[in-house]
Amino acid sequence: MPSSFASAPAVIAFDLDGTLVDTAPDLLDTLDLVLIEAGARPLPHEETRKMIGAGVRALVTRGLDAAGVTVDEARFAALEAMFLAHYADHIADRSRPFPGLVEALDELTARGHLLAVCTNKLEYLSKLLLTRLGLAERFAIIAGADTFPVKKPDAGHLLGTIAGAGGLAGRAVMVGDSMTDVLAAKNARVPVVVVPFGYTDIPAEELGGDAFITHFDRLPETVEHLLLAR
């Protein structure tokens, strides 16, 4: 492999919900209000937490299904709009970065890596959240569900994110918390680090990632090992 390729900056692409930030409190508070508006009781957050990760439309759909509520397309559109409006206003009320994240981002940047976000959250909500948390400027690109014609687990979402950050697919690592992230990485032939503090009904260590860490203090060295292995 040419030395210029090996020395090119690597792109470390992160999922957002459940990977960078614990967004469940604000997402699920908003879902509670939508369910009440739909005539249902809020569901236990232990149950709805596992519904996060595929975007707002999927979260609202899963919530309504679990509550046994059926609505027509017009009613669903109104409930989805209600969710988006309320959530945007309260997007960082209780959402916080996971422990060790900021220090890990600092270290990855110090090592010359490019940082990116590849999420199935809408782009404007992703940028709004990361801006409110003071994290947005750390990332070369924040690519949401509507940034490209496709979204995770389609390889095009991750590959587009890597290119948009100014990197190469052969010098990239994905970091995520769900099967959607693992599949996106595998489809793009990019190694993936799995973290256990996100939102999945499958134990994180069983998702089939190339590496598994329990705290972000392990991320910089894990990334280096994966890049060297390539």
Q: What pLDDT, in 10s, does the model give residues 60-72?
A: 999 999 999 999 9
Say if residue 131 is in the same domain as residue 215.
Answer: yes
Residue 53 above 80 pLDDT? no
Query: Tens of pLDDT along 143-166?
Result: 999 999 999 999 999 999 999 999
Say if residue 125 is in the same domain as residue 43.
Answer: no
Residue 36: how many other CB atoms lie within 10 Å? 11
Say if residue 113 is in the same domain as residue 225.
Answer: yes
Which among 15, 22, 181, 210 is annotated as catalytic?
Answer: 15
* Residue 82 domain boundaries: 24-89
Active site residue 201: no
Say if residue 12 is in the same domain as residue 74.
Answer: no
Say if residue 103 is in the same domain as residue 145.
Answer: yes
Report the distance separating Cα 32 and Cα 28, nearest Å. Answer: 6
Q: What is the pLDDT of residue 155?
A: 98
Report the distance separating Cα 138 and Cα 68, nearest Å. Answer: 42
Domain harbouring 46, CATH code:
1.10.150
Say if residue 136 is in the same domain as residue 208.
Answer: yes
Say if residue 158 is in the same domain as residue 84.
Answer: no
Can you give the pTM of this predicted structure?
A: 0.91
Who's near 14: CB < 8 A, 6+ residues apart? 20, 115, 116, 117, 118, 174, 175, 176
